[in-house]
Structure 1
Amino acid sequence: MLHKARKSNTIFRPHFKTHQSAAIGSWFKEYGIDKITVSSIEMATYFYQNGWNDITIAFPVNPFEVPAINKLSGDIKLNILFSDLGAFQLLAPEIKNETGFFIEIDNGYHRSGLDPSSPDIEKLLILAQKNRNLVFKGFLSHEGNTYSAASTKQVKAIHSQAKDNMLALKSYHITDYPDIIISMGDTPACSIVENFENIDEVRPGNFIFYDLMQLGIHSCKNEQIS
């Protein structure tokens, strides 16, 4: 997975939600990985305490977590995730330190995030300009629907459509935000696709263990299951 990312000049930011272990996290450090993904501020704090200082929380910001976010963002490079305009309006003014943020895009999983064509994306970015502590990092998505795909072909189709959506968003906004990236991540697609061409960052997590479900869609081999 790391070789594929490096070959495509793609940032490899593995998701640590699957293992939530400092010991397993140290395996990644041995391969030169210094950026990670987590799913909560508690998990981010845990891994910060174990030597990680470039962390993306790939889960929509919880209002009750803002004080902890402000505390942690003073010590590390922290990226957070906004999934709707209402949450941004409520929480953005409370961010006190320089903090990166991604806008979550819903490419068909329908768990959270904005539709790629939603006018709320532009509204959110206009509001973000009022808080200098918030740094727009780009667009993030999780194609969790690949986990229920019936075949390798279906996984590739889901990934291809999502990638097209993300690239279109980046292309539209790149003039105003030249440093933005697109961040994608699900183990089935990351395992199956031949390369990560034009994807700036990938965030697979389950690949560290794999499972029988992924064996069924051929994203791994039997001997790769922990």
Structure 2
Amino acid sequence: MTIFSSIHKPTLLLDENKARKNLALLNEKILLQGKQFRPHFKTHQSAEIGEWFREIGITKITVSSIEMAIYFADHGWDDIFIAFPVNILQIEEIIELSKRIHLSLLFEDISTVSFIDKHIFCQISGWIKIDTGANRCGLRSDQFEIIAELAHELEKSKNISLKGLITHAGHSYRFKTAEEICLVYDQSVETLLGIQDQLNQLGYSNIEISVGDTPSSRLVKDFRNVDELRPGNFLFYDVQQYQAGVCQLEEIAVTVVCPVVAVHPEQNEVVIYGGAIHLSKDSHAWGDIQNAYGLVSLPAQNDWGWDDKKIVGYLRSLSQEHGVVVMPDGVPDEIKPGSLVCVYPAHSCLTVQSMGKYTNLDGETIHTLLA
């Protein structure tokens, strides 16, 4: 029996060897430059996969929610950074976490610092969120007066220690060349170093800098004067990263295996049981196509994983359960209703969130906090 003979519905297939290799390569790069590696666990969301990180000496992690922090704290992680603006409505959970682990929170609002400081009783670390161009959240460099006030609020608080400046240069995902991505990194670091210098002049010493996005972490040769990196997507990669030249196709470590339910050879299309609820609706460009939703390959001839040498099509549309695959060179003769295809996700983080669990190439289930 092969792994594919046991798949009857959309299944998130994980090649552990590829993922571990991706992890080892980036870990080595970061350590060789003397930086701290605090990987983001929102990509995989799995305690079992988290152990791969612990095996190579990683002791501190990043998450994106209180629930995720609790899950990984329950599995023995005791240095956790919630890299998401503090939701004060979850203060009870924050209090409990602060008693159990070394907790780091990010702030961009003085009132939130004051609120947290009044309610917790254990020391935590506080980071100031800086927007270096992603235009999502954080303070801009031209808001230094507010940054300084926030630093003062953190410094005078009883239970929060001012740790440093944090950014996520998420706008690096908008660019498609290594030169552009490296330029985004350099500009972000320059912004942070400028703010760090201004804070130093006001007497705030030992201000650390934490950055983290997969494109920059993979492509930048010199991380410069940052202290910590927090990428997450690098573990699996995806088509967005492949399109930007961040990874090779054979480095993508997950696909969604989907049954073919209809074949339309006259249109060079097939319909698969695999829709937005499995793959999300994140998209990528493909040739002249502005919005594709994944690339399609076939199971490997030896039935061990998927064929990462040839793309046979792309997903042109997704509805709830349906996916429509265009095969420009024609539908291969072996593709019939009941066949399986392997879809490289546009964005692996959201695909994991959608699927909730993995099947490895040995047919074993790997659970996440979602399932």
* 1:72 match: secondary structure: helix
Alignment counterpart, residue 142 of structure 1, candidates 168, 180, 195: 168
Opposite residue 56 of structure 2, the aligned amino acid is: Y
Are the counterparts in 2 of residues 210 and 220 from structure 1 also a CA contact under 8 Å? yes
Match status 1:101 vs 2:126? yes
Matched with 2:257 is: none
The separation in 1 between residues aligned to 2:155 and 2:185, in whole angstroms, is 31
1:140-219 equivalent positions in 2, closer than 5 A: 140-174=166-200, 176-219=203-246
Displacement, 1:130? 3.5
Match status 1:12 vs 2:33? no
- CA, structure 1 residues 192+137, in 2 after alignment: closer, same or farther (shift >3 Å)? same
Are the counterparts in 2 of residues 4 and 195 from structure 1 also a CA contact under 8 Å? no
1:59-70 equivalent positions in 2, closer than 5 A: 59-70=84-95
The separation in 2 between residues aligned to 1:54 and 1:161, in whole angstroms, is 29
Opposite residue 122 of structure 1, the aligned amino acid is: A
Opposite residue 36 of structure 2, the aligned amino acid is: I
Match status 1:51 vs 2:76? yes
Displacement, 1:177? 3.2
The separation in 1 between residues aligned to 2:27 and 2:228, in whole angstroms, is 11
Q: 1 or 2, which has the higher helix percentage?
A: 1
- CA, structure 1 residues 174+5, in 2 after alignment: closer, same or farther (shift >3 Å)? farther
Displacement, 1:168? 1.5
> What number of residue pairs does the alignment pair up?
226
Opposite residue 177 of structure 1, the aligned amino acid is: Y
Identity of aligned pairs, percent?
41
Matched with 1:115 is: 140
Displacement, 1:90? 4.3
The separation in 1 between residues aligned to 2:134 and 2:68, in whole angstroms, is 24
Are the counterparts in 1 of residues 132 and 191 from structure 2 also a CA contact under 8 Å? yes
Opposite residue 61 of structure 2, the aligned amino acid is: I
Q: Quick check: 86-95 or 43-52, which moved more?
A: 86-95
The separation in 2 between residues aligned to 1:132 and 1:99, in whole angstroms, is 10
Opposite residue 120 of structure 1, the aligned amino acid is: I
Matched with 2:251 is: 224
The separation in 2 between residues aligned to 1:31 and 1:99, in whole angstroms, is 26
The separation in 2 between residues aligned to 1:48 and 1:139, in whole angstroms, is 24
The separation in 1 between residues aligned to 2:207 and 2:120, in whole angstroms, is 20
The separation in 1 between residues aligned to 2:214 and 2:179, in whole angstroms, is 15
* 1:117 match: secondary structure: helix
Task: Let me know the Cα RMSD of the aligned residues.
Answer: 1.4
Are the counterparts in 1 of residues 126 and 154 from structure 2 also a CA contact under 8 Å? no
Displacement, 1:45? 0.9
Match status 1:26 vs 2:51? yes
Task: Give unmatched runs, 5+ long, in structure 1.
Answer: none
Match status 1:84 vs 2:109? yes
* 2:176 match: secondary structure: coil
Opposite residue 215 of structure 1, the aligned amino acid is: Y
Are the counterparts in 2 of residues 4 and 196 from structure 1 also a CA contact under 8 Å? no
The separation in 1 between residues aligned to 2:155 and 2:230, in whole angstroms, is 27
Q: 1 or 2, which has the higher strand percentage?
A: 2
Match status 1:127 vs 2:153? yes
* 1:17 match: secondary structure: coil
Are the counterparts in 1 of residues 133 and 169 from structure 2 also a CA contact under 8 Å? yes
Match status 1:71 vs 2:90? no
TM-score, normalization by structure 1: 0.95
* 1:127 match: secondary structure: helix
Q: Quick check: 115-124 or 55-64, which moved more?
A: 115-124
TM-score, normalization by structure 2: 0.59
